[in-house]
Structure formats: structure tokens, C-alpha cells
């Protein structure tokens, strides 16, 4: 994966280095694309849904990702990279 932009907006915090590659890919995708649903993340990363769910759980546990309920469909959650943790 090549950097589309330069700067700290796409860099991950140092503690992300301890996470599995799937979680790093999900975090990097959120950094590039912005807010996405779990299904959108699975489509963008080409990872199975179960792997994306596990990665999001790990990222949320580390405080690297935040989630909120979608206003369009309350059954879905919207995930975003926690900007405070990326600095």
C-alpha cells in the first residue's frame, strides 16, 4: 500500500505496532478513507467480515478507533480513527 498523502493524518501511533497486520490495515484504511461501516471496511480491505470485527475490537480496546451509531441505519456503526491517539 502506498501513501496517498504525506503527513501525520495517515500515520499510526507507536502502540499500533503491537497489533496484528489486519488491525493495522483496518486502521490505515480508516486514516485514508475516513469514517466507514464494518461492511465498507471489509470491502475496502478485502478482509473477511469476521477479521474486520476482530480488528475493530482490538483497535477500540487500544483507544485507536471510535464508533458511533449510523443515523441512516441504526443497526450499523460508523468507525473512525481516533485523531487524539494518532498525535
- 3-class secondary structure for 22-63? HHHHHHHHHHHHCCEEHHHHHHHHCCCHHHHHHHHHHHHHCC
CATH number of 16-86: 1.10.10.10
CA–CA dist 49, 85 (Å, integer)? 25
pLDDT for 40: 96
pTM for the model stands at 0.79
pLDDT per residue over 6-22, tens digit each? 344 456 666 667 899 99
Amino acid at each position: 500500500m502506498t501513501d496517498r498523502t504525506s503527513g501525520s493524518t495517515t500515520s499510526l501511533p507507536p502502540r499500533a505496532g503491537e497489533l496484528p497486520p489486519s488491525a493495522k490495515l483496518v486502521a490505515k484504511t480508516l486514516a485514508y478513507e475516513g469514517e466507514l461501516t464494518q461492511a465498507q471496511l471489509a470491502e475496502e480491505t478485502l478482509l473477511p467480515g469476521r477479521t474486520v470485527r476482530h480488528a475493530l475490537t482490538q483497535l477500540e480496546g487500544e483507544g485507536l478507533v471510535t464508533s458511533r451509531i449510523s443515523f441512516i441505519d441504526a443497526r450499523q456503526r460508523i468507525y473512525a480513527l481516533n485523531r487524539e491517539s494518532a498525535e
